[in-house]
Chain A
Amino acid sequence: DVKVTQSSRYLVKRTGEKVFLECVQDMDHENMFWYRQDPGLGLRLIYFSYDVKMKEKGDIPEGYSVSREKKERFSLILESASTNQTSMYLCASSSAGWPSRGYTFGSGTRLTVV
């Protein structure tokens, strides 16, 4: 069964901490994405990567960075966590070219910044 695995389901961090969210996929997908989901705002794209060491900003990259050192792993980094980064974070992957079935998502990480 193909999978996108996010390392933590729930995280509580303090304001100002550096936070790492990890995502691993086992489908040999080229593309990987980080979204956040907030009520009334839907899913908003933070960053994506279409190849190892390649990254592109999404719609809301401020306060975030990413790392993709290996094809299967895509990390989201909150450089200095703030309370407005409290959210559900979703990682997804897709194959190169046109993904007719769209993304495969992980189960999400619920991050609370206090």
Chain B
Amino acid sequence: DQQVKQNSPSLSVQEGRISILNCDYTNSMFDYFLWYKKYPAEGPTFLISISSIKDKNEDGRFTVFLNKSAKHLSLHIVPSQPGDSAVYFCAASENAGGTSYGKLTFGQGTILTVHP
């Protein structure tokens, strides 16, 4: 039972354009969401996060949008750069700050390729 789903295995965009990566979840108890980026032969690195009390969070070129009613979040990268080419994972957790021990549930990942 995949509680966090990234239905697009891959995405290809032109440098300078917008990249939109999508993520859906089924567990209504999830209250904190994160995006990670992973290059080959490296561990994932934290990119941006959002709490369920917000619907948008921005950090430079990266913006995450959360639609709780649709159980959907998306990551926007504007403008996209070739160095953004990587695998992007969304992750979710429930009971933020409580007894979840920070346990995260990850999606399958989306391979982003940004062409020069």
A residues with a Cβ closer than 8 A to B are 4, 9, 31, 33, 35, 40-45, 48, 50, 56, 58, 90, 92, 94-108
Contacts and interface: CB of A to CB of B under 8 A. Distances in A.
A4 B46 CA distance: 14
A31 B41 contact: no
Given A31-B101, A98-B97, A105-B45, A42 B36 contact: no
A102 B49 contact: yes
Interface residues of B, number: 27
Interface of B: 4, 6, 9, 32, 34, 36, 41-46, 49, 89, 91, 96-98, 101-109
B103 A92 contact: no
B109 A94 contact: no
Contact of B46 (A31, A45, A103): A103
16 contacts: A31-B101, A33-B103, A42-B6, A42-B109, A43-B44, A43-B106, A45-B103, A92-B43, A95-B102, A98-B102, A102-B49, A102-B91, A102-B102, A103-B46, A105-B45, A108-B43
